[in-house]
Structure 1
Amino acid sequence: MKCEWQAMPFRFASRHLPQPQVRLPPHLPPPASPPVQMSDETFDLCPPQALPAEQLLEIFRQLTADGSWQRYSGPHGTALQQLLLHRHQRQHCHLCCSGTAAMELALRAAGVEAGAEVILSAYDFKSNFINILMLGARPVLVDTVPDLPVLDPVAVEAAISPSTRAVIASHLHGLAAPLSALSEIAGRHRITIIEDACQNPGASLAGQPAGARGDLAILSFGGSKLLTAGRGGAVLTDNPQFAQRITLHTQRGNDAWPLSELQAAVLLPQLQQLDQQNRHRAAAVRQLQAALADSPAISLLLSPEFCSTPVNPDGIATAAFYKVALLLHAGRIARDELSAACIRKGIPLHPGFTALHTIHAKSRFRTSGSLTNATRLAEQLLVLHHSALLQPGAELRQMADHIRTLAELRHSATW
């Protein structure tokens, strides 16, 4: 039997193994061109740059001039922490190297250890599941509410056992987890709510910012996120004991999982423009909703709060759309065919998450109740990437027409 390192020869550095040649670019790419005029046949929806190239270059010049780019910590990281604390109305913020790392730190802070159980949706990002396993704990998978990628509070309460330490409540695809109901349940059973707000920074949930309501909350600054530094994350809490546990785990002479000064400096101006861009994306989603409203084949999955609240041109958006959820009223094969057809057109429409109970050994988790809704979502859900939502109105309408036409073709073929 081959060892893992033999099958993956570049996993460990060695002078005896050929090393890949990396050619670094001499400078950053030029400023993004204006959006390409889309033809009737093909779309060109490249992800927009988080910041204009000139602004990035100026940030790099400043950090190079004062030497702060190479510091272990400095004013940019401190400023980012303070801004996140203010925006989320929190007492403690720990910056870290990724959203995945943030979730591990949150689980550790909640006291999750070997033998403990953590409840999460069977339709969720697989990293959350793996983080639980890495701590020696057992994931407990429960169902979503019908037709929405939202954790079902009734299913959560039914899954609680004496070993339950935490519930992961993820805000996915512009939809909010039912934190009021979950918090009431958690309070009665004395378990911790970890709010995964990686997908919806800047959203307002029942009058409070996403990331402000869980006992712990996590953010992600990954490469494709609404706020990006290529990599990065943060943990937020009001509980000083949780904050102390995070500090004790990460401080090993220096912070073991840091966010750099350079990353923090790039994130600060993005936070200043986040509300404006969220409002722009929310308005685009309303256009998509109108274009697909009477389609028998495909529909947008939106929260009642978003549907009933007008977009305030100066306020906080009720939803932040990293990805928009669409449900194809046909089977998995038709869903995958629709995604492939849209991608060929240049439309970033991809299958949603794979149901967690279908990709992991059953000995590694426990289920509670039926997972019918989560299974259906995993087979029929598609997600539209936020790069499509910053396009001009005419291109957005044209894209919606393409999605509708292709969806209805595949829907009719299944009946």
Structure 2
Amino acid sequence: MTIPEGKTIEKKDYLKKTFTTRNSFFSDIFRLREYADSSHTNLYYSYLRTFLIGFTNFTLEEFIKRGVLANILLLIISFFTIFYTLNKYYTLSNYLSLTLAFTYTILPGSISNLLFIRPYQLQTTCLLIFHLFFLSLNSERGNNSLKTILFIISLTSLFLSGYFSLLYLTIFYIVFFLRTKQFHHLKYLMAAFLLTLFIYPSFFTPLVGMRGQEVASNLILGRNLFQSKSWSFLLEFMLSSLATLIIVFVSFKERSKKLLPIQIGLVATLFLIIFIAPYQEMRYLNPYLIATSTLAPIAIKLIPRNWTFIAITIFITSSFFTSQIENDNQDIYNQKRDFLKDIKHLLILGMKDEPRSHRTFSQIILHLPRGSKVSYYSFAKNVDFNKFDGYCFYNKNAQASRLHKTDKLLQINSILCKRKKDFKNL
């Protein structure tokens, strides 16, 4: 959408132009295809955008409901995927498979993914579906065109679900090729790779940008594991690591060629993410922790009877401690709400015409009180700042340099928001 230069529009009209029309939906999907987000691929935002068609009740609460509803659908798909995988390929009974599938969907990580409107629930679902179709493709002899197509689609979806999937799939296929010598999977990888680039041509652009540089820096310095963490965190980390290693190493007794890449890939990815994730938050680990948990039944079944109680105790204890690791998402939400609650007329200065800008400013505008107004100007020149209660602008916008008079600000991505009451002699 294009905001009229110098025109004041109501908050509800801005959001209506952004979300409700069918034409804006197709336009947004097309633009998401071309635009490279520095943090996430476009698959989740395209998926979420479909849940905002006809979005007319423009409140933050309603927007959250739509986002959570989108994640609930993914969680339901994950539930049935886990159930079918455990029942069909881990040869567990219907009752046990159903119980474990339900347990995995109420883990703290699952609930966190459900309530956080970001791609992490999608990553979990795509990872579980990929495992299901991988086991299906490699468990029966003979070529099946439908299974091959479904596997390529699941592989493409995993590519598009998030950038950490590249790390996982690299480890996964190194182990798979060394273990099985089934190099015909290279053509599946090539097909998925080409399909990924067709759907999202800018897929690899962020890997050489700011986020890619952060990952490289974190990996070299290893700072994410120990920096600013207490001894209690290190205890939680060690307990979780011990539980994970018990699950995997014991399950190695099965010596299954089809499970070994999954086992090694998941655990190696978990430990690498700890070092390279841009922020020290559990949301990056949750998809792989949940997938790793599905290996627990194999481990428990193979552990000697006299060790079963100890192993289960360690696993439950580590799950509890892991759930206690702090997540500041609620604090960020409260910060946005409290900062913007008194702004009746917001100035947007120098917004770029790109999907990420619209998404970020929509996120800001959703937090404004009912009845608020929004005005847009390309440059600060000839703008009467006294007409506005708050200002949002790009941090590197030279035209907005006069606004840097206070440290009291709200930063969302590369956008800064300030309130008139925090300024002196404006």
Whether the TM-score (by the shorter chain) exceeds 0.5 is no
Bigger radius of gyration: 2
Structure with the bigger percentage of strand: 1
Q: Normalising by the residue count of structure 2, what TM-score does the alignment of the two structures yield?
A: 0.25
